[in-house]
Amino acid sequence: MALFKKDKPSTERVVPTHIGIIMDGNGRWAKKRMLPRSAGHVAGSENFKTIARYCNKIGVKYLTVYAFSTENWKRPKDEVDGIMNLLRKYLKDSTNFKAENIKLRFIGELSVLPEDIRELIKQAELDSSEATGLTVYMAVNYGGRDEIVHALKRIAERVKTGEMNVDDITEDTVSANLYADCPDPDFIIRPSGEYRLSNFLTWQSAYAEFWYSDVLWPDFSPKDLDKAIDDFNKRNRRFGGV
Ligand code: FPP
């Protein structure tokens, strides 16, 4: 968790340890250009690569991106298929992450994904496991509440088998049973003019700083990210203290 030193020189910028991004606005980006929604997702996935590369360059340790929510299955089949195909394409090209020294991890209820995608995910996670730069957590079929239920079931199972007592359950127990093994996000970014968390990192965002922007995700540039991080640096994070 990035804490700011009071005596920090004004030129010294703190880069958040863990950034979460809700990649919103692909559909509107396409509509503005009279293109099909799928073109917006293509542009959004390209921008994800640009931003991940930039986060790696500036020393962000973890980046969690919301690629597909548990609610997104409600979208038309061709849109869902389009997003799944983008995922396939991204995973097949290991130069996207391996050559960049980026570690790739997936969070969400992955068991319902098409089998070939699950295999590609396994391979990509394995291929990038030695990377020492940025860790990207891609949230697919992810829901924050669903993740908490998943963690509670795991804990309940351990209580049932006598491995732990109910009284020993703490906040740390819940955190340790979530999908990702990393610090909570310091900073959550939602472009496209929406001011909602939309079931993203529900447990982990308790003390996160938020940044909203009207820029649509495919247009959200490294410059926009820099602006957001500059603003993050002005925040006075007290974590419930004074
Ligand atoms: C939200 O915008 C975006 C999504 C539901 C999907 C995001 C998916 C990607 C960026 C591609 C994923 C693939 C890779 C390889 C990262 P929206 O469609 O809700 O936009 P709108 O609110 O303008 O309609």
What is the per-residue pLDDT across 102-115, written as a single tens digit (0 to 9) for each?
999 999 999 999 99
Point out which residues pair with 106 in neighbouring strands: 138
- What CA–CA distances, in Å, run from 145 to 125, 199, 209? 24, 7, 20
Output the pLDDT for position 239: 76
Ligand 1 closest atom vs CA 66? 7
CATH number, domain 14-232: 3.40.1180.10
Statement: residue 96 has pLDDT above 80: no
What does each C-alpha distance from 170 to 45, 159, 174, 182 come to in angstroms? 38, 13, 7, 17
24, 47, 56, 186: the active-site residue: 24
Across the chain, mean pLDDT equals 93
Question: Could you give the percent of the chain with pLDDT greater than 70?
Answer: 95
Phi, psi angles (nearest 5°) of residue 201: 45, 50
pLDDT (tens digit per residue) in 167-224: 999 999 999 999 999 999 999 999 999 999 999 999 999 999 999 999 999 999 999 9
Atom number, ligand 1, closest to the C-alpha of residue 138: 16
* pLDDT classification of 117: cutoffs 50, 70, 90: very high
Residue 4 reports pLDDT greater than 70: no
63 residue type, one letter = L
Q: Which residue out of 23, 117, 121, 190 has the highest number of ligand 1 atoms within 8 Å of its CB and is therefore the one to mutate?
A: 23
Active site residue 224: no
Which has the higher per-residue pLDDT, 46 or 13?
Answer: 46
Report pTM: 0.93
Pocket mutation for ligand 1, best pick of 21, 24, 65, 137 (most atoms within 8 Å of C-beta): 24
Length of the chain: 242
Confidence of residue 11 (pLDDT cuts 50, 70, 90): low
Structure tokens at 139: 């949230």
What is the dihedral sign for C-alpha 127, 130, 133, 135? positive
Are the beta carbons of 51 and 225 closer than 8 angstroms? yes
Contact 178, 156 (CB under 8 A): no
On the question of pLDDT at 10 being above 60, the answer is no
**Per-residue pLDDT, 5:** 46
| Minimum-distance ligand 1 atom for the alpha carbon of 26 | 20
Position 236 pLDDT exceeds 80 = no
Delimit the domains of the chain by residue range. Answer: 14-232
The CA 161 to ligand 1 mean position distance, Å, reads 41
